Structure formats: C-alpha cells, structure tokens
Structure 1
Amino acid sequence: MLDAIRLGPSDDATAVTATQLREVVTRLVHAGQWRPGDADILVVMDTGYDVTHLAYVLADLPVELVGRLRSDRVMLRDAGPRRSTPRGGQPRKHGGVLTFSKPESWHTPDQATTCDTTRYGTAQALAWDRMHPRLQARGPWLDHCGELPLIHGTLIRLNVAHLPGDRDPKPVWLWSWRTGMTGADVDLRWQAFLRRFDLEHTFRLFKQTLGWTVPKVRDPHTAELLDDPTLIARYRAAMDGQAVGRMVPSLPYIDTVPVDGGLRVRLTTTRAVLNVGEDAVTLSAVGAVYEFAREAEAVLRPLVDGRTMDLAALADTAGLVLEDVVGLVQELVAGQAAVVGSLL
C-alpha cells in the first residue's frame, strides 16, 4: 500500500504519484515479488490521475498503467505509415478523432468481448488499439524539452447491464499503455478495474464505518488484534447486540407474564445475536446480554429468527415445562427485549 502524502500548495499531484509508484515498485523488486520474466505489475487508477504522463515517466519500470478517463475526452488514431505528398511538408502525427460521447466518430474496434458477471450482469467491452491523446505544453508537460511524444495505448469502453442496487450504469472508458491486446487481455484490464473499485469501497468501510483511522497503533500486539480475520464478524455481532429494539409495550403484561400457553411472544429487535456454548447460551439484544441454561436454545432460536411463537409451542419444542418458558420470557420482557400478547 502506498504511503499517504498530504499535498502542499506547490506540489504537483502527478509528480508526487510518479514518485510514490516508483518507490513501491522498487521495493517490490528488491523484495523478490517481481523478477525478470514475470508479467508487468498492473497498476489501476481512477480518474484524476494523468495516466498518460505517468506511463511516460515510468516507462523504465516493469509496470502497466490502466486508468479511467472522463467521458468527455477524445482520443486520436494512429496516423499510419508516413507517406510523402506532392506539396511536401511535415507528415501527419495524428489520425482520425474518436470522441467518447459521439458514437458516430468511433471506427471499428479491434477487439469486442462479452461475458457474464455475478454483480454487474452482462459486460460488453470494445477496444481500439494504438490510440493516443493530443498532448499540449501545459500541466506536467510544461517543462518538457523537445517535441511532445506520441504515447500509444489501448482504449477500452466497458458497459455493464446494471450496478448493485439496480442503478443505471454509465459506460466506463479505460486506457492502458499496452498495445496489441487480445480479447482476453482486454477482459483482464477491465476486470482489474472493477476489482480496484471493490477494494476502494472496502477501505472506505474500514475508515468510515469501522473507524480504523481513529486508533493510534503503537504496539505490534495491537496491530495483530486488528489483523484478526474474525474482527469484522465480531464487530457486527457486537453492533447487532446493541441495536435498539422497537419499543412496544407488553400491555397488559408489564410486570408479570401469566402462565398461559396461548400467549404469543416475539423479540422487539431483529438484530439479536444468540451464542451457544457447551453449558450455556447467551442472548445479546437491545444492549443487554442474557445468559440461560443450554436447554434454552430451543426456546430462543425461533425468536432470534424473527418468528412470533405461542408459549405452549415453545415449551413443547424445547421439552420444558411451561412455567420455565414463562420465566425466561418474563426476563426478556423486563429488559424490553421481548413483548407478549394474545393478538401478536
């Protein structure tokens, strides 16, 4: 993972990013994570990065950059082989223009693939080989000496059937400095981009929901605790156990629950957590923890599953006498974790 750097007023984001990438790739090579003969390290980035300039300044590294482009961009075709004209002059540097927002400007793609995905439905990708942007002497190219280069790459347009949550998707445009791609190469690049998207939202979960930017880890043992693979599951269980229930008064049975098998009971929360041990079971609900004998699992399980049950049915299922079931339910009602009534 790259070290986070706070940009100063005079810092150039592209130059800082190039330095970060060079440092991390150098560390990977020194650590033996990349060796001569291995495939290039795939670096995937979202919009906001000048992927063309980064590809130029990092051309000496074993990396391939894939970056997302804005939908209002244009790309230029290769001018093709040089040819002389009767009028002479400089040969053409650029070919035809491909405007992302104007399908009529698109020429026949060099690759077209279609495949099914689990999260996004059918994904269709079009790829045009040897496409380059028209560079201008500004921004990171302002201090470039000599003629601005032509940086060819592969332009990919990805369109999926739907997004999670049934949102309408917009096409995604990607550019890689790799040329001569096959259909499988194209699929690998856009799949890597979608994978980057999932990872980005995972880090957002860590930061915004789990608050992992708050702890100041100063001890290796503390870091090991954060690396526990069960941490998220335990965190969710703890949050579920503290979730406030739907406060429904158990009228008229506020103080005591009568021994009446026809009464019905349900929990006031749908996020209760039941933990079963060797000798006891614990129920975490509405911010409290209740501990019962092991036999109480058969009583609590259908309630935790969200079912409304007759007291008599619970007693029969658990093989307990009705009085014991009523005593258990009375404790939950007193803690506002359950409600009883004849019309539930």
Structure 2
Amino acid sequence: MDRGWLEPTRLRRTLAGLPLPKAADGRIVLAVDVSNWLRPDAPTIDDRLFCHVYGRGDRKTDQFVPGYSFVAALESGRTSWGALLDTVRLGPADDATLVTAAQLRDVLQRLTQAGHWRPGDPEILIVMDAGNDATYLAHPLADLPMTLLGRLRSDGVMLRDPGPTPSGQGGRPRRHGGVLAFAKPDSLHEPDVT
C-alpha cells in the first residue's frame, strides 16, 4: 500500500492466516453484514449499489451511499472487537445475498487453508441481522459446515405448513397454511418443542 498498489487476493490470504478469535467452546463465529460506507463524497462514485440512510453526513438528510458486504470473526464476551476478514463492494446489478454466499464460501476456504478450521471441528456459526435473508442464504451454503443464525424483521410474515389434505377433498392440495405475523401475537401458537 505504501507504493500505491494493493493485491486483494494476497491481503485476503494474509488476513485469514492471522490469529483468529474464537468462542469459548472453540467455535469460529463470523458476522456478515451488508452495510453502507458513510462518506460524504461516495454518492458521486459510479458503479456502486446505493443503500438508503437518513440523518448521516453533513446535511443530516436522506442520502444514498454505496453498499458493501463485510465478513468479520467475532470474539466472545462483552468486547466489541472483531477481525475483519473480507469486504466486497456491491455493484448495482449484484444480488447482495448471492454475493454474501460466495464471499462466505471463499472465507471458509481461506480459513481451512490457514488451518483455523478442520473436518471434525464444530460448525462455524454465521450471525447476521435482519438485513440479510437467512433462508435465502441457507440454500447456496447448505453443503458447508456452517450454522446460520439470523434475526427476523419484526414486520415479517411467514406461512405455516398446510398440514395433511382432508380425505375426499377434490382439487389441488393447499400449498400454505395459516399466516404467522410477527407483529400480531394472536397469530402465534405455542411451539411444539421448547
């Protein structure tokens, strides 16, 4: 960097080879986030995916700023320290979830090559906020030793299993059951398992 150039692939390998924070049980915990990069001049740069933010910058008004996908290893305990492992700039045509999936796949490969994770180790825990679609992200990462933990939006809606089709009922079977709306506690049922 002091000579005005950077090798991103080499930097990513170097970051993966550094000592990695782990949880108390030895598990690697990674946080993923698609976030904006708050710089006052950023909205003028071409070929970036813009995220809406309010009340930031000098003007304290609505702005659209470029989006980035981050992956960081988290420490356990009450500390807020983390080890940034990867950052990818999102383009205007990029699907943020697919970019994050490819990014996590690459990070896991680098961590495995660096000896931080081996077969037989606990699965890597991936934590994400409501801005990431955990169910959409689970499909392209199903073959990896990862457990995804995502926060659901409070205004989210899910559809229950339709259950068995009643005998003697003609026509196409139902695809969905009742609505489960997080904002409506009366739509929630007691869980089958605690």
Q: Report the aligned-residue RMSD.
A: 2.1
Q: By percentage of residues, which structure has more helix?
A: 1
**How many pairs were matched up?**
111
Q: Secondary structure at 1:53's aligned position in 2?
A: helix
From 145, 151, 175, the equivalent of 1:93 is 175
**1:182-197 superposed matches below 5 A:** none
For structure 1, the residue ranges without an aligned partner over 5 or more in a row are 113-344
Q: Secondary structure at 2:180's aligned position in 1?
A: strand
Distance in 1 of aligned mates of 2:168 and 2:154: 39
Matching residue of 1:9: 92
Distance in 2 of aligned mates of 1:27 and 1:97: 42
Q: Secondary structure at 1:59's aligned position in 2?
A: coil
Structure 2 letter corresponding to 1:71: S
Structure 2 letter corresponding to 1:91: P
Matching residue of 1:109: 191
Q: Any runs of at least 4 consecutive aligned residues in structure 1 with deviations exceeding 4 A, and if so which?
A: none
Deviation string 1:211-242 (CA, Å, 9 cap, x unpaired) is: xxxxxxxxxxxxxxxxxxxxxxxxxxxxxxxx
**8 Å Cα contact 2:86/2:107 also seen in 1:** no
Cα shift at 1:111: 4.7
Distance in 1 of aligned mates of 2:133 and 2:179: 20
Structure 2 letter corresponding to 1:94: H
Q: Secondary structure at 2:151's aligned position in 1?
A: strand
TM-score normalised by structure 1 residue count: 0.30
Q: Secondary structure at 1:24's aligned position in 2?
A: helix
**1:164-183 superposed matches below 5 A:** none
Structure 1 letter corresponding to 2:175: K
**1:213-292 superposed matches below 5 A:** none
Distance in 1 of aligned mates of 2:153 and 2:126: 18
Cα shift at 1:28: 2.3
Q: Residues 88, 65 of structure 1: CA spacing in aligned structure 2 closer, same or farther, 3 A cutoff? A: same
Structure 1 letter corresponding to 2:187: S
Q: Residues 77, 34 of structure 1: CA spacing in aligned structure 2 closer, same or farther, 3 A cutoff? A: farther
Matching residue of 1:20: 103
Distance in 2 of aligned mates of 1:83 and 1:36: 43
From 39, 44, 51, the equivalent of 2:127 is 44
Deviation string 1:51-107 (CA, Å, 9 cap, x unpaired) is: 111101111111111111211011222334x44532333333323221111111110
TM-score normalised by structure 2 residue count: 0.50
Q: Percent identity?
A: 63
Structure 2 letter corresponding to 1:101: A
Q: Residues 62, 90 of structure 1: CA spacing in aligned structure 2 closer, same or farther, 3 A cutoff? A: farther
Q: Residues 16, 88 of structure 1: CA spacing in aligned structure 2 closer, same or farther, 3 A cutoff? A: same
From 62, 67, 76, the equivalent of 2:145 is 62
**1:158-169 superposed matches below 5 A:** none
Q: Secondary structure at 1:4's aligned position in 2?
A: strand
Distance in 1 of aligned mates of 2:158 and 2:100: 23
**8 Å Cα contact 2:126/2:149 also seen in 1:** yes
Cα shift at 1:36: 2.9
Distance in 2 of aligned mates of 1:24 and 1:108: 38
Between structure 1 and structure 2, the one with the greater Rg is: 1
For structure 2, the residue ranges without an aligned partner over 5 or more in a row are 1-83
Matching residue of 1:128: none
